[in-house]
Amino acid sequence: MKRSEINRKIGEAKNFFGEMKFHLPPWGSWAPEEWRRHGEDLTAIIENGLGWDLTDFGSGAFDQTGLLLFTIRNGGAAGDHKTYAEKIMIVEEGQVTPMHFHWSKMEDIINRGGGNLMIRLHPSNAHEEIADHDFGVSLDGILKSFRSGEVVRLEPGESITLYPGLYHSFWGEPDKGKVLVGEVSAVNDDHSDNRFLKEVGRFPEIEEDEAPLHLLVGDYASFL
Domain count, the chain: 1
pTM of the model: 0.95
Instruction: Say which CATH number the domain at 89 has.
Output: 2.60.120.10
Which conformational region is residue 16 in: left (phi greater than 0), alpha (psi within -120 to 50 degrees), or beta? alpha
List the chain pLDDT tens, one digit each, 224 residues.
999 999 999 999 999 999 999 999 999 999 999 998 988 889 899 999 999 999 999 999 999 999 999 999 999 866 688 999 999 999 999 999 999 999 999 999 999 999 999 999 999 999 999 999 999 999 999 999 999 999 999 999 999 999 999 999 999 999 999 999 999 999 999 999 999 999 998 899 999 999 999 999 999 999 87
Query: H helices within the chain, ranges in order?
Result: 3-19, 32-37, 43-47, 220-223
- Give the structural domain span for 132: 3-223
C-alpha to C-alpha distance for 36 and 84, rounded to whole angstroms: 28
